[in-house]
Amino acid sequence: MTSMMVIQKFHPVGTGTFKTGFLRHLSTGESFQWVYDCGATSKTTLNRVLSTLPRKLVSLDMLVLSHFDNDHVNGVETLLRHCSVKTLVLPYSEWAQSVREISVLGKKGSSPSTAMLQLNPVQWLASRNFDVRVEEVVLIRRGPDATPVPSGNEGTEPNSREFQEDEPGQFSENYFSFGSSFSGNTSIRILPHNHSIQAVNGDFEFVFYNAEKDFSELGLIEQRCGQWYAKHSGWLLSDVKTDIQNTIMSTNLHQPLSGMPANWRKTLKDRYEYHFGHSGKAKNNISLCMYAAPVSQKFSICCIGSDRHCCRFRWRRTLRPATLCTGDIHLTAAVISDIQHHLGAQRWNRIGLTQVPHHGSQHSWEPGNAVLLAPTQFVHCASGSKHHPHPDVQADLSSSRVHCADRTQGVIIRYRL
């Protein structure tokens, strides 16, 4: 007897990522809707896809943003105008790394709006009147080196308020205030990535992986007499943060309707490099990966294919109903090993579909990855240009089953449990 139905779709936005998911527990009637990323290099294509979403998509249980590049987030404002969101899930990264990413990636990286979202998501929501539409922000940070409670084992996930006590302090230390308080309609949680988020009475789970490294691991700071200093400028770290915040405010980046000087990114980059050295160094690898699957170890009936040929889908029995979304993570053999260790063997062996990171870019993929990830199927979120997906990546995947969500067709994953 079918107890759960799950439908996921990588929408046809071309080079970008916009994935929706819906599950219904048939025995209880409970349902859960989520979105992973909402962006594309072609805003016209993205808006066309957003306009075709069903009218029932007015309330999301979870919206996950893997990172803050425009081609992953530039549809979020449109989405929030039409949908309320219970939980907005973002990757946690330290403020210096956020400043670096914003200043070096250029226009194709972060727009002023997405830069503000990264620097202070709570104030970004409030400044656009979205704080009444988003109930909570959950920041996923790299946690202790421990695998989340394995599927099927008895154990409880943390209570929703377990992480509340110290979070305002952690948030204010790592994000910029711009003279505003953090109070508002949206609450904040900071969740180590060794805890999952569960849905439909714990029968479905989302496990995240954040590969962030902190200041000290990146070699940006040093400790002297019990206090931390920027290694390059020698300034006390708290003074560095104040200085960079003043620089940001001088460009009016924190004012949503103000004009921006043309060189605002260079201004920010110069200040970053004054304190932390060349921006080409100390690069982090932050793109929030997400494992999604039912907890039950029973056989599922699954089909994967183009949304243009749904009638040709062939349903197959599988013990691999899990999907792994990767955003733009730089997927090396070491990172694959770390994700595998993080998820644990039981979850790892249930992955049936993996998103190829960064739209098939050769800069986020190493030859041999397909073998390490086998026997999973793969999906590209790419338009099919010269570099997305790149021929070297396609060659490595040549022996695997690969689907492509381009600008003309999406990829649907359906299964029943």
- 56-65, 344-353, 367-376: segment of lowest average pLDDT: 56-65
The three-class DSSP label of residue 413 is strand
Position 288 confidence tier, pLDDT thresholds 50, 70, 90: very high
Instruction: Assess if residue 334 is contained within a domain.
Output: no
**For residue 391, which phi and psi values (nearest 5 degrees)?**
-55, -35
Q: How confident is the model at residue 182 (pLDDT cuts 50, 70, 90)?
A: low
State whether 230 and 309 are in the same domain: no
Q: Which amino acid is at 415?
A: Y
Whether 222 and 312 map to the same domain: the answer is no
Q: What range defines the domain where residue 269 resides?
A: 216-276
Q: What is the mean pLDDT of residues 141-167?
A: 51
Whether residues 297 and 242 share a domain: the answer is no
Q: Is 166 exposed, middle or buried (0-12, 13-18, 19+ CB in 10 A)?
A: exposed
Q: Structurally, how many domains does the chain consist of? A: 2
Residue 258's pLDDT band, with cuts at 50, 70 and 90, is: confident
Position 198 in a domain: yes
Is 49 found in the same domain as 37?
Answer: yes
pLDDT for 255 equals: 83
Mean pLDDT throughout 117-127?
92
Mean pLDDT of the chain: 89
**Residues 260 and 291 placed together within one structural domain of the fold:** no
From residue 307, how far is each of 176, 357, 411 by CA, in Å? 43, 21, 6
Residue 187 lies in a domain: no
Q: Which pLDDT belongs to residue 61?
A: 97
Would 170 be classed as within a structural domain? no
Six-digit token string for 5: 């139905």
Mean pLDDT of 347-360: 97
* 62 and 201 co-located in one domain: yes
Which pLDDT score is estimated for 144? 67
Concatenating the DSSP letter of every residue in 345-393 gives HHHHTTEEEEEPGGGG-GGGB-TTHHHHHTT-EEEEES---SSTT-HHH
314 and 221 within one domain = no
Ranking 90-99, 178-187, 206-215, 399-408 by mean pLDDT, the lowest is 178-187
248 and 227 in a common domain: yes
Task: Count helices and strands (H / E) in the chain.
Answer: 14, 19
Residues 63 and 17 in one domain: yes
For residue 140, what pLDDT is reported?
95
What is residue 310's predicted lDDT score, i.e. its pLDDT?
Answer: 62
- Rounded to two decimals, the pTM is 0.93
* Residues 254, 268 within the same domain: yes
Across 126-145, average pLDDT: 89
Q: What is the pLDDT of residue 84?
A: 95
Same domain, 56 and 76: yes
Residue 128, domain member (yes or no): no
Weakest mean pLDDT among 62-71, 299-308, 323-332, 392-401: 299-308
The reply to whether 87 and 232 lie within a common domain is: no
Residue 42 lies in a domain: yes
Residue 300's identity, in one-letter code, is: S
